[in-house]
Amino acid sequence: MREHLVLIGNGMAGVRLVEEILERDPERYDITIIGKECYPNYNRIMLSNVLQNKMTVDEIITNPYTWYEENKITLINEDPAVGVDTANKIVTSEKGLKIPYDKLVFATGSHPFILPIPGSQKDGVVAFRTIDDTAEMMEAAGKHKQAVVIGGGLLGLEAAKGLQLQGMDVTVVHLAKWLMETQLDERAGKLLQGDLEAQGLKFLLEHATTEILGDERVTGLRFKDGSTIDTELVVMSIGIRPAAELAREAGLEVNRGIVVNDFMETNLPAIYAIGECVEHDGKTYGLVAPLFEQGKVLADVLNGIEAKPYQGSKTFTSLKVSGCDLYSAGNIMDTEGMQSIEAFDGVNRNYKKVFIKDNRIEGIVLYGETADGNRYYNMMKKGQEIADLQSIAILQAAGEEAGSDDVVAWDDDETVCGCNGVTKGDIIRGIRDKGLTNVAEVGKVTKAGTSCGKCKPQVQTLLEHELGEGVTASTGICSCTDLNRDQVMTQIYAKHLTTSTDVFKELHFSNPEGCAKCRPAVNFYLNVAFPTEHKDERQSRYVNERMHANIQKDGTFSVIPRMRGGQTNPQQLLQIAKVAEKYNVPLVKVTGSQRIGLYGVKKQDLPAIWKELDMVSAQAYAKAFRSVKTCVGKNFCRFGTQDSMGLGIKLEERFEFIDTPHKFKVGVSACPRSCVESGVKDFGIICVENGYQIYIGGNGGTEVKEAQLLMTVETEEEVIEYCGALLQYYRETGIYGERTAPWVERLGFDAVKHILSDAAKRKDLIEALDVATAVKRKDPWHEVVGDRDIQEKLYSIDRRELVTVGD
């Protein structure tokens, strides 16, 4: 006969516990959940998105009513527990229900703290804790214009921004000297304040509220210094306190919260507690990650599994407050023995501070650029010593680029989803063992991305790495939007959007940070639209492009130096040999594109290897102009009609580094025998006695497409001109991730030929490409691969007429 488990509380911690129990043994318990609100379980973290009109209430429901039914769970809603008879093991509800239990779990959460000052019970004074609170705030915003949020913590700032987006004039009143003082140090807090002020929010810091003014409804606030402020709505967001009153009445030990041991047991038999209502080792927690960690421990205990004791949690906060990225973890207080490493980029408003004690990370504060957050957090969680890391770059390993969030290269035990404690290995095993194919499925199985959602792009990256990179080329460019490529480009031009953040916001992408599919696409489209205004966003590029190397299945990398036209010399060969020997490179191989590749290179050795090679990257794995494959040509071959190798070198020197919707390969054959397979290249040249035959739209690979003859020209200069025009037209009209073969098929070969045959349009295209090329060659991102100074050639060109096919 199954035992009866009763859970008091229908919130995130309690229901996650039930999910964990069902996952271990769905037949062990008859389960009853008692809830106070009239809703099924929902994601409280997402209430700010509801307030900001980014999501609906339905979209934040985590476990709909059907989930309770499918799992044979009795849900008692809108009827909170009011009494517990521990002697007879009976819970009494507000409406008089008597619910017997064999085992009882308190997951009663917390109460929002309301200032005990005169006027706090007036109409128009609300907390920001529940769906009903959110609905009341939205209703007030429709009737009133002025709002004050008391509390400059995370929730208060999200409430303030939400009310501003609802059309209200919002002031944040905060007692401390800077915002989010428990998660941010003073500099980061001031940076956040400055950015939010630029968005229209107002702040009164170091102000203590002493009275709420008004008769029945609030009309203003009075502060300790005697000053006042008018307002029609007051939102209290100054913290929470454990909801432990019922537990205390039942005889459980309660200090700040319900006292539990390492196995979430209370002082009474068969009664347990988890979540914001508990106190463990003198600490209470208000973030979801510790609550879910507690749930896993208690699920093992309740299922008779030997449980690993709960040892407390290292908390972190990774969030975006109104477009302002910040990350905080661990202890950020300057306590005895604490040291810190700090870096501040005042131009880009990026700030990093890492707190160090006993040669290990104790705390982290990041503002602006937060991609390093997970890396630092994993180092802190593991207790990794930092002696061998470069403090000048804020604990950057030798060879590791700053800001890298290369989740593919992480160890399997490193945490991807901090909220739910899901590691990279958990996700990879789920994908492989259970055939998961999308982020939603990964979330359902592993819980990754189901709380704050910040890790979804990394989950998507792991999916693409495991399953192969997929491309959406028909409807929306990704699941974040229904807009296709042409619609996105049209809006970029029409609204003059110059950053990915602008695109995601103005075009109402469902994910305000984008995903692993649309971030590189939008970055590319912006590079094409505004090459001199848009700063290439490195973190939006795939890891292979960022590292100038291709990650292999064992986590090492391949290094492919550029050998223009496939030509090398003894000095280059000697350098490659020396590097391969010095760094114990496991494999040296001639590639299919006439390069010599070094395989099995360690990530930390990449910068040193590139420096010692003194060669530029062939961008062998980038979505860019790749190699030009050539035969030896007429200078050596008795069948050759032209200098194919020389032309290949000129093409590479002219167009290397330029990014394209997908890889762009070129082949130059010195005679119709076509030893370099020019007929299956994106741009193929077959040299003949009277000139050069140009072929376009050929692709090798899994689906071979034969290139089509565009025309025959007489000179090398014409070949280079047509190649450049084709490149730019492909850049301006191609869908990110689309090879030239489907591109030509989609636009129509005749239409492409018509554009390229028009001398005026060809000139415009070449000039636009020159602008993009000049920017690429002067961009510091290309210092590792650039070896010449190029005179920048800038033109003022309206590109909109060439966004789509035809005049």
Binding-site positions:
631, 637, 671, 675
- Gyration radius (Cα) of the chain, Å: 31
With helix as H, strand as E and coil as C, how does 367-434 read?
A: ECCCCCHHHHHHHHHHCCECCCCEHHHCCECCCCCCCCCCHHHCCCCCEEECCCCEEHHHHHHHHHHH
DSSP 732-745: HHPPTT--HHHHHH
Local structure of residue 152 (DSSP, 8 states): -
CA distance linking residue 131 with residue 615, whole number of Å: 59
CA distance linking residue 598 with residue 576, whole number of Å: 8
Q: Measuring CA to CA, which residue among 217, 237, 215, 266 is closest to residue 107?
A: 266
688 neighbors 711 (Cβ within 8 angstroms): no
Token pair, residue 26, equals 């769905």
**Residue 373 CB burial class (10 angstroms; 0-12, 13-18, ≥19):** buried
CA distance linking residue 87 with residue 65, whole number of Å: 32
The torsion angles phi and psi of 333, rounded to 5 degrees, stand at: -90, 140
Annotated binding-site residue numbers for siroheme = 675
Token pair, residue 466, equals 């495991």
Local structure of residue 304 (DSSP, 8 states): T
Return the number of other C-beta atoms located less than 10 Å from residue 383's C-beta: 10
Return the number of other C-beta atoms located less than 10 Å from residue 553's C-beta: 6
Token pair, residue 392, equals 């000048």
Annotated binding-site residue numbers for [4Fe-4S] cluster = 631, 637, 671, 675
Angle 759-778/716-733 helices, nearest 10 degrees? Answer: 80
Residues contacting residue 182 through CB under 8 Å, at least 6 positions apart: 153
CA distance linking residue 254 with residue 665, whole number of Å: 70
For residue 123, give the amino acid letter: D
DSSP strand pairing (29-34 vs 73-76):
parallel
